Amino acid sequence: MSNTNNNSSYGTIKQTTNFDEETVDPLQIEIEEFLKQSRTQNVEGNYFKLSFYGCIVLFFLLFTYLINISTKVFVNNSNASTTQNFMSSSGKLQPNVATTTTTKPNFILIVADDLAWNSIGYTSSEMSAVTEQITDLASKGIIMNNFYAQEVCSPSRGSLITGRYPLTIGMQYGMVGSVAEWGMPLDEITIGEVLKENGYTTHMLGKWHLGYFSPLFLPTARGFDSWIGYANGENYYWSKKLPDYPKNSDFITSNTTCYAPYEGDDKHDYSTTFYTSKAISIIQEHSYETPLFLYLAYQAVHDPFIDVGIYENGMPDSYIDDDILKSIHLNITGRLRQEYAKSLYMLDKSVGELYDALVEKDVMDNTYIIFMSDNGGCFYGGGKNSPLRGSKGTLFEGGIKVDSFIYSPKLANPGTTYDGLMHISDWFPTIMELANIDYSPDDDNALDGVSQISGWTGVSTPRSDMLYNMYTHLTDIEFDIWTNGSFAVRDSRYKLMHTYDDKTYGTWDDIDETTSDDDNLDSENGCAQQFVTGTFEYWLFDLNTDPYETKNIYNSPNIQHVNAKNKLYDLLPDYLTNAKTKMSMSFSEKSKKVWEENGNHVIPWANVDDLKNGDTYTYPTLC
């Protein structure tokens, strides 16, 4: 696997100044020359000059020092590098000035799939034995107690890598299907693109799920130097075949030049083990002449846990240490829930191995590990979000409130928890600040996310309100969200929501029965359905006093509740103004023909020229 920073441009993106070449500050030269002359001249008159100008110099240096301290109070041994950027009229990043005196930090961004709230040791006693590594790492970092993703995969992942709400990038409605001819719009700027422009080598492993019908939409056309993974929402852990199209394998390898079906000898390794092995290779082989950004989007703990024709009864017990296996059978009821626990244990083990690899390479001291789930757990897939209400696919807290933490020896306040409001889009600007990158996009690409560093240190409260989501119906953003569409918004205390009655998705009463059902091992993931037959209702919750959403106070005459409701309603028009229409609702049968012609491998099928619209893009072609 190559670890050389690829200098190909993406769309109209240009490359920044080479970070290996230190830019000399003319002001610094002038100051040093003045001091040198003052020291060598022994004229009495110069003594006064030295004293006078020396005071000016000292004042300037002290002022600069205080400014630097105020912007870097959060991180120990912060980077001395600064990068200034501006945006072109096309919305793509352009370079201005870059200076570097120290190495920028590395980032390992880990996303678990469908990880339920009641899963990690600090939120679940039931799963504590299978999450010891994750729990230990989180306890030494900063745990986000009030962190929100989106309710399903594609919107979350789009928001994460753009720093924008799904509504703002046209990803608000549902997930990108296997044969869908749409994806995250090409004018969106990704975190990979910005980091590459600022000297980073960027790699991705695992689940993409942001469109792939054209190679223009692949990760290696959108800011990543390499990618091995799957394009769709799910596949089998060993065979890598699509449950929806079981004769087709979804397993792709790509760099910025070309892509191909992955055919390595390890292609049938268990998914979590495979991606961890590749990640460790990247960590070990990277030269660190450029900082590393690794986006690791695991398949775990998404169902199905069986593999048709290989492991019909789920993961073999031989994968699990004996003591852990005993704990699973002793403490966890139901086959489906036990298979979920096995998958979670393999993920936990991998997180520990990644940490060990960073320590062994002697780069952990300059690395941030960020961990999160993409949405709440699905009870049809073994996940429990209790005591939170709801499941994956809903706007109740159980569908969107998830675990997240950051760990690094660079943190100034390790071993703490953060109660401030945080959205998945906030990781983009937070990473920019940790990397000391000044990213200021134009209005067309303005971030919805906010850096959370000042909140972690108690300096300020970065976020006072948040849009959960707003489903503009299909491609029509003018439809009446007040009567036939779902939305949810909150401030620091209250949550306003218009959505289906949660009886549509199942209530607390049937979750235990569902997660214990042996017949659900090959789940079709019913939690992912958003627009289904059901009754729309309005909801208002006081999350300070009712965090589990047990009491709907929407019709309460209490003046405080009425004012809170009106305040939240007032936020909605601004969000709708920034809505972007979903690029397409089309599906193609051509895809299956192309897959069949290429050995039943899932690959892009659309004509690139039909999508360029006169723009220039660099993208991989079929190898």
How far, in Å, CA of 600 to CA of 260, rounded?
A: 12
How far, in Å, CA of 196 to CA of 100, rounded?
A: 15
- Two structure tokens written together for 307: 């593999």
Mark out the alpha helices in 291-394 (DSSP H runs).
322-331, 335-360
Helix (H) or strand (E) holding 106: strand 106-112
Helix (H, G, I), strand (E, B) or coil at 468: strand
Helix (H, G, I), strand (E, B) or coil at 307: strand
CB neighbour list of residue 299: distance below 8 Å, 6 or more residues apart = 113, 206, 207, 230, 234, 235, 237, 271, 272, 275
Helix (H) or strand (E) holding 488: strand 487-491
Q: Residue 219 corresponds to which amino acid? A: P
How far, in Å, CA of 351 to CA of 403, rounded?
A: 15
The dihedral over CA atoms of 325, 329, 332, 336, expressed in degrees to the nearest 10, equals: 90
DSSP 527: G
CB neighbour list of residue 370: distance below 8 Å, 6 or more residues apart = 107, 108, 109, 110, 404, 405, 406, 427, 431
- Per the CB < 8 A criterion, the answer to whether 48 and 231 are in contact is no
Q: Give the phi and the psi of residue 548 in degrees, each rounded to 5.
A: -100, 10
- Per the CB < 8 A criterion, the answer to whether 525 and 383 are in contact is no
Helix (H) or strand (E) holding 496: strand 494-500
Q: Residue 366 corresponds to which amino acid? A: N
- In Å, how far are 121, 397, 477, 504, 530 from 394, measured between CA atoms? 24, 8, 20, 10, 7
CB 406: neighbour CB atoms within 10 A?
A: 26
HEC string for 126-160: CCHHHCHHHHHHHHCCEEECCEECCCCHHHHHHHH
How far, in Å, CA of 596 to CA of 594, rounded?
A: 5
Residues tagged active-site: 153, 209
Bridge partners (DSSP) of residue 75 are: 411
CB neighbour list of residue 558: distance below 8 Å, 6 or more residues apart = none
If phi > 0 it is left, if psi is from -120 to 50 it is alpha, else beta; for residue 240 that is: left
Helix (H, G, I), strand (E, B) or coil at 41: coil
